[in-house]
Amino acid sequence: MKPARYIISLLVLVLVFQACANKPQNKQLQEAISTMKKASTFMVEKVSYKGGYVWNYTPDLSRSWGEMEAKPSMIWTQAPGTPTMGNVFMEAYFATGDEYYYKAAEKVADALIAGQLPCGGWNYIIDFDGEESLKDWYETIGKNGWRLEEFQHYYGNATFDDEATYGPALFLLRMYNQKPKPKLKHALESAIQFVLESQYPSGGWPQRYPLKFDYSKNNRPDYSSFITLNDDVHRNNVRFLLMCYLVLKEERFLEPINRAMDCILQLQQKAPQAGWSWQFTTDMKPAGARTYEPEGLYSNATYSCINMLMDYYEITGEQKFMDAIPPAIDFLKSIALSDEMTKYYPRNLAPGQKLYPSCTEVGTNKAVYVHRGGSNATNGEYYSDYNPEYQWMPTFSMRALNVSILEDRFESLKKIPKDELLKKSPLNTKPSLENYLPRRKFKTNEQEIERIISELVKKDFWEGVYANSNPFIGDGPAKPTEGDYRCTQVGDKYDTSPYRLGEDQRGITTWQYVINMSKLIEFVNSQEEN
């Protein structure tokens, strides 16, 4: 064989080998894209209601749930509800360029705009059958959710809790940034004004706004006006204003952002209890909230605030945020529970974790544990004491935390020169919104992708595990039902709180859709990069 012919033959073999190697990969890529479309078409055209979503559905769509059971006319603003679905559609749109996904995201935006309250914020629930239908839900299903006291009273205003306002507002900002349509601009500006107007002079935010003082439970004051850190209320509002600054490039956002960051310093208590609560009165004193959230300092709130201080140092380079961290870490270490206390905790601790009391009494540093008696929302009560026996939900009264992660991040930040830190600050670099958005990463591989694709060959949706609940059958009796409900997920048959009992309840869940779509999107993006 002549050298030229040999080289040509070798090249042909190489090209054939490459084609064979690439063929399955290209086939899997196309299968991934078509699977995404099939699953999304089902969610958009069969599951959604007027463009919105709750969390979970029975396979026949006869019952559905957000955090509690929903009426057919309802959609949910809490994650992983309507805004979460909209964000997945946008990610799919960016990955594939398919306009179907943008139109699906636009339907989500329209649903959220339709449910936006006159004040500019959102409640947990949007009921397209109107306010009387929503009030009826609160007086029936909501009122009887024993462990979900935030749904036992209809305020008629908006809430920052559980991303109910942050999620829709950020999604509208994202949609507006992509295509600045007038309807998006109007709704977004209304949401921005809501966040700015509701901020206290101290820099914090109430849980609900406009302020209401018309509700109390067990002689406790209405906590919805308290400065709230719980469920990332404070962190998310700062993030939202910062992202508005990045997109709209308006100086009006800087003062509220700085005031909010300083508020975390003001809320920190004095050493040796240099921690934080989840709620504070407007004069900066630790406060309780729901009846199973007693007044005190909270270990997971303190952990969260230490991370916030480091976030704010990275943004501003101001040393005052770093100076507040060592006494806070010292406080956490001082309240760590003994190894013996793990007998009360139902989960195994991960490497580096220790057990901490969720709530510590101000002044004494005593651990406070939550208990309950009765059988439902009518006759039941929550109370707290120092006894770890028979806790209601031990994972609520005790927290597994890894403080060394905080210490490592703190030490790493100290080593970064201030000018280098500020060069990377979003206030100076002004990254694009899409590059700055926090994104959850899902680990995957080709075998996992194949499994996700194969699960949809004979079905229209991916099955997920969901929480069930007792249907509303009327208010519970004044006398407790026979049985021991001290440590259970749910009370008697009158309790409408959702509960999980094993893995037997499988149906349509937005969360399973989000997880599998996110993995497929990452796979598609990785193939296109290659």
Q: Are 397 and 382 in contact (CB under 8 A)?
A: no
Closest CA to 292 of 371, 398, 230: 371
Phi then psi dihedrals of residue 165, to 5 deg: -100, -40
Element containing residue 136 per DSSP (H, E): helix 131-137
* pLDDT at residue 508, rounded to an integer: 98
Taking a C-beta distance cutoff of 8 angstroms, is the pair 259, 203 a contact? Answer: yes
The SS3 of residue 369 is strand
- Predicted local confidence at residue 502, as pLDDT: 73
| pLDDT on residue 500 | 87
**Under a CB-based contact definition with an 8 Å cutoff, are residues 467 and 505 in contact?**
yes
Give the single-character DSSP code of 346.
Answer: S
Answer for the pair 285, 294: CB distance below 8 angstroms, yes or no. no
Token pair in block for residue 323: 């100076």
Q: Which two tokens stand for residue 194?
A: 């809501």
In the chain, which residues have pLDDT < 50?
1-24
Which of 529, 483, 487, 455 has its CA nearest to residue 389?
Answer: 487
The pLDDT value recorded for residue 504 is 78
Matching residue, tokens 């629930």 = 125
- Classify 375 as helix, strand or coil: coil
105: Cβ–Cβ under 8 A, 6 or more apart, which residues?
Answer: 86, 89, 90, 93, 175
**Element spanning 404, H or E:** helix 403-414
Residue of 364, 337, 329, 226 lying closest to 283 (CA atoms): 226
Q: Decide: 138 and 151 in contact? Cβ < 8 Å.
A: yes
Q: DSSP string covering 82-93, please?
A: HHHHHHHHHHHH
Please give the helix or strand (H or E) that residue 117 lies within, else none: none
Pairing of strands 359-360, 367-373: antiparallel
**Cα separation of the two ends of the chain:** 36
Residue at 336: amino acid letter: A
pLDDT of 10: 41
CA of residue 34 relative to chain centroid, distance = 29
Six-digit token string for 225: 């006006």
- Please tell me the pTM assigned to this model: 0.93
**Which pLDDT score is estimated for 444?**
86
Mind spelling out the 3-state secondary structure of 232-247?
Answer: HHHHHHHHHHHHHHHH
CA atoms within 13 A on the CB side of 323: 6
Are the beta carbons of 33 and 96 closer than 8 angstroms? yes
Residue type, 328: A
Instruction: Identify which of 496, 506, 383, 502 has the alpha carbon closest to the alpha carbon of residue 152.
Output: 496
**Residues forming a β-bridge with 70:** 64
* Cis check: omega of the bond before 210, within 30 degrees of 0: yes
Strand partners, 69: 65
Predicted pLDDT at 15? 40
Q: What is the pLDDT of residue 138?
A: 98
Identity of the amino acid at 1: M
What angle (nearest 5°) sits at the alpha carbon of residue 278, between those of residues 273 and 284? 65
Whether a cis peptide bond, with omega within 30° of 0, leads into 80 is yes
The dihedral built from the CA positions of residue 227, 228, 234 and 237, taken in this order, carries a sign that is: negative
